[in-house]
Amino acid sequence: MESGETQRGVPYLCGLCGYLGRSPELSACAACAATGDHLALLDEARAAALSPSLARFLEWDADALAILDRVPEGFVRDLVRRRVEKRAREQGRTAVDRADIETKLGQWSTASVSLTPSLAWEPDAWTRISRVPDSVRGMVIVEVEREARRRGDTSVTAAAIDAAVQRWSAARVFHSAG
């Protein structure tokens, strides 16, 4: 339908928020500002095979935003926002509402109760993660372990948490409603 003019740039899929975009330089995810190896380059055939719903910017309604505001500000809230959007995109949603975020928080809360870390954690690293609220701790454990494995670590150290937070916070620019 569109000319090639709008098809410029390299297709990428953001591993954090699930956004399917194009970037001439692949500097950052256009939806969540994730950078570097969060962004997977795709060839045209693979990009065309993915659902167009992944390429949507998602508006959050007031109820959903109010719930998000209860999550501690900083990388935890950023992660929650990105993971909720990822699921919403994958489900073909056009906007994020209360049910979208409550469902995701519910999953994480359950995980917080039952989750057994899959890597060994250094005591100081575990102390830090213990300060994360119950409702989202399971999510943070999973994400930090993912980062530790990416680094090739066999146990989770405070340094790995620092690096993960740095990566998640590298460019915290989200689309605002304004």
Binding residues (CB under 5 A) for Zn ion: these are 14, 16-17, 19, 29, 31-32, 34
Nearer to Zn ion by C-beta: 16 or 125?
Answer: 16
Question: Shortest approach of Zn ion to residue 54 CB, angstroms?
Answer: 10
Question: Shortest approach of Zn ion to residue 139 CB, angstroms?
Answer: 16
Distance, in Å, from the CA atom of 122 to the CA atom of 130, rounded to the nearest integer, reads: 12
Concatenating the DSSP letter of every residue in 122-170 gives -HHHHHHHHTS-HHHHHHHHHHHHHHHHHTT-SEE-HHHHHHHHHHHHT
Take residue 107 and report the two structure tokens written for it: 């999953």
CB atoms within 10 A of CB 176: 5
Nearer to Zn ion by C-beta: 96 or 125?
Answer: 96
Question: Shortest approach of Zn ion to residue 79 CB, angstroms?
Answer: 11
Nearer to Zn ion by C-beta: 14 or 80?
Answer: 14
Task: Name the pairing type of β-strands 120-121 and 20-23.
Answer: unpaired
Question: Shortest approach of Zn ion to residue 70 CB, angstroms?
Answer: 22
Nearer to Zn ion by C-beta: 34 or 84?
Answer: 34
